[in-house]
Amino acid sequence: MKKRDFISLHDWSAAEIAALLTDAAGLKAKRKARVPQALLSGKTLALIFEKPSLRTRVTFEAGMTQLGGHAIYLTPQDIRLGERETVADGARNLSRWVDGIVARTFRHQMVVELAEHASVPVINGLTDLLHPCQILAALLTIQEKRGDLTGCRMAFIGDGNNVANSWCTGAAKTGVHLTIACPKGYEPDPSILHEAREDAKGTGARIQILHDPTEAARGADVVYTDVWSSMGQEEERAKRLKVFQPFQVNRALVELARPDVIVMHCLPAHRGEEITDEVIEGPHSVVFEEAENRLHVQKALLVTLLTGRL
């Protein structure tokens, strides 16, 4: 079987992403019904984490356990990849021992280098540039709540960060009409935006960037937000709090959307900053359903990459 990686949604076709979501829904149903899912018996997954994590670590470890496999968690202190030895050497060593690698890093290039030199599948668990696993979970959640993704109107309110970058591609691949509202100077990566708009030609998706959150939220089916200061941006926090204050997802903003709007957040949330308690605990919020779905989409991804089948 030819090795396949999951670095960006751009590398996967619309049909392949749809298949992953279908597989994830099937695995979720089996989990709820307590049907055994030992599809990865005897498989081992290495987790390379430079950043702390709740959802990514637990969902990949729990997913491997539920599928009959095993995960090994590696901190920067364990291996110091790129310092104690080169990324290429680390990739070639790990490839001799494990069946797959998940990397959660600061530099996107580190995940790219791992994929280039590893002979086993490499999954992007998050980088400063992209967060594709989160978008898979969000897409599954929207599909569950609203049905067909095509034509869904989504407003992303906040920073044009790694989640927004991956949303550009995820929307383009699935026909979601995406509007990102961010302060001037905080737009998504221009090259990713251009790439996504090229992808969107095949699905009819529309991707636009605005600087008015109320315009973006008006009539939206989905309102999505993320933290204003990501890991590694602590020094910018005070400035960002002032710049992003008009982009808070609060009741007034949500009321501009459709009456049946769903509100999403990839978590962790800074309550009272990018989103209010009233909204995250309110009737439109599906943030914890989205968090649960990280488990199911990643299980589908692991089965696909580590076995090539379901």
Active site residues: 104, 131, 134, 226, 266, 294
- The single-letter code of the amino acid at 262 is I
- The single-letter code of the amino acid at 145 is K
**What does 74-142 look like in DSSP terms, one character per residue?**
E-HHHH-BTTTB-HHHHHHHHHHH-SEEEEE-S-HHHHHHHHHH-SS-EEEEE-SS--HHHHHHHHHHH
Taking the CA atoms of 153, 14, 299 and 117 in sequence, report the sign of the dihedral they define: negative
Residue 120's Cβ-side half-sphere holds a number of Cα atoms within 13 Å equal to 21
- The single-letter code of the amino acid at 290 is E
